[in-house]
A and B are shown apart, each in its own frame.
Chain A
Amino acid sequence: MAEAADLLQTPLFDLHNELGAKMVPFAGYQMPVQYPLGVLKEHLFTRESAGLFDVSHMGQAWLVGPDHETTARALEALVPSNMKELKPGKQRYTVLLNDYGNITDDLMVSRPLAAEDDGRLMLVVNAACKDNDYKIIAAALPDNVKLEIVEDRALLALQGPKAAEVMALHAPEAAQMGFMEARPLEFDGISVIASRSGYTGEDGYEISIPAGAAEAVAKALLADERVQAIGLGARDSLRLEAGLCLYGHDIDENTTPVEGNITFCMQKRRKEAGDFPGGARVLKQLAEGTNTIRVGLKLEGRAPAREGAEIRVPGTQEVIGRVTSGGFAPTLGAPIAMGYVPSNLAEIGTELELVVRGRALAAKVSAMPFVAQRYYRKPK
């Protein structure tokens, strides 16, 4: 395990300690895995009210080019999503692909609202992947598009059914944002960039804040009794219930977006053209299907099946797949998992078994999300 001295700290490090967080090494940072409330209550609190997450370890960067089309085209060379038609003030989920069409990372991309920011795209990438991502992106960019790595900003997520009403007290314009919209806001007079998105399946925001002002924003939110600080432990169980992939576990450099069952990130024009790394292979998979695919799994009983657990067809000893994420779902009071199975066994309701400590536990392929997403859609 890395020594604390070798680990990086986010701008909220002192606040985490003040709040009594249990700190753990994560992706090179000292991060709060839980606060005194505990993972279970933190999870349920986020589903009932609003949770505040420090996700400053994630990578923030700008792509900067002469105009939107040039910058979007440069990014499209690395991802299978339509960036060209991404509208000002909108955000989109995508994946970086390698030459085999396998996933190097997943990321969020937003296009600024203001006309003077034309040609800029904001990226948020995974902490553990960021150095590699930046290397790949920088190497692939044309001369007139630059990668600007942002090192002086924190990133907070406010998630839950009461996130919007709390946020509106500090930044009234946040209320007008729809799901997957991004824009600059004044939060109690502090200039921030917010998106209405997150990683819990709940309504909420991710807020990019100048590092020096991060603690003030966090404290202003935590002063509200509807908000509690939430650690990485609950972040993981929340995203699992929401059916969202954790990079390096549920999707990685051995899986394509088709195998990972995230083809929603590929818009029509890109799917037809296949003009992205590994495009020929991914197009073939789209047309013909894949050998294996990521599915949701619901277990009978209470025993959780963790990452790495073998998946078998009942009555056989043959291992047909493995769990990639698994645990206890606090909202459901039952264990859930994700894993890869042969595509002919991926139908909802298919009976499988998961092997835990030598014992076969009954499970069924389940639709995802396991817990209904409650994103905010603007009235038309």
Chain B
Amino acid sequence: MSTYFTKDHEWLLVEGDVATVGITDFAQSQLGDVVYVELPESGKNVAQNDEVAVVESVKAASEVYAPVDGEIVEGNELLVDEPAKVNEEPEGAAWFFKIKLGNTTQLEELMSEADYKAFVETL
């Protein structure tokens, strides 16, 4: 089990061949109060960098991208009823979707937690 991060401020928790994906605490702090989340449908095949989910604050909509190729296994229905969870537990209960990894070599291009922290410092 290991955690990866992207430059689009997503985190992936990989367990076996499935990754749980969410947005980082930094991302939610930039977005502000989340009022709506749109999730991908289960069974959908996506490619890395495809727009797969949307998160909306009072002011604006932002896309969430697929961090890797794969098949969407599940969306987090909790966020449909309680979008504010994204602000409260972005790196825990408020995960966005689970994706079955289509190409595990893509993980090697992602950042470790330490690298991501360093990246955020540069912003």
**Contact surface of A with B, Cβ cutoff 8 Å:** 33-34, 38-41, 43, 233-234, 236-237, 302-304, 306, 327-328, 330, 335, 357
Contact = CB atoms under 8 A, between A and B. Distances in A.
Contacts of A33: 59
Contact of B58 (A40, A303, A357): A40
Contacts of B38: 303, 357
Contacts of B36: 302-304, 328, 335
A236 B58 CA distance: 10
A354 B58 CA distance: 18
B56 interface: yes
A233 B61 contact: no
B60 interface: yes
26 contacts: A33-B59, A38-B33, A39-B32, A39-B33, A39-B58, A39-B59, A40-B32, A40-B58, A236-B59, A237-B58, A302-B35, A302-B36, A302-B80, A303-B38, A303-B56, A304-B35, A304-B36, A304-B56, A304-B61, A327-B58, A328-B36, A328-B58, A330-B35, A330-B58, A335-B36, A357-B38
**Majority SS at the chain A contact face:** mixed
B57 interface: yes
A303 B54 CA distance: 10
A41 B84 CA distance: 12
A304 B58 CA distance: 9
Nearest to A356: B61
A41 B58 contact: no
B54 A357 contact: yes
A328 B56 contact: yes
B39 to A, nearest CB: 12
A306 B54 contact: no
Interface in B77-102: 80, 83
Give the 10 A-B CB pairs with smallest separation, nearest first. A40-B33, A328-B35, A39-B58, A302-B36, A38-B33, A233-B59, A328-B58, A39-B32, A303-B36, A237-B58
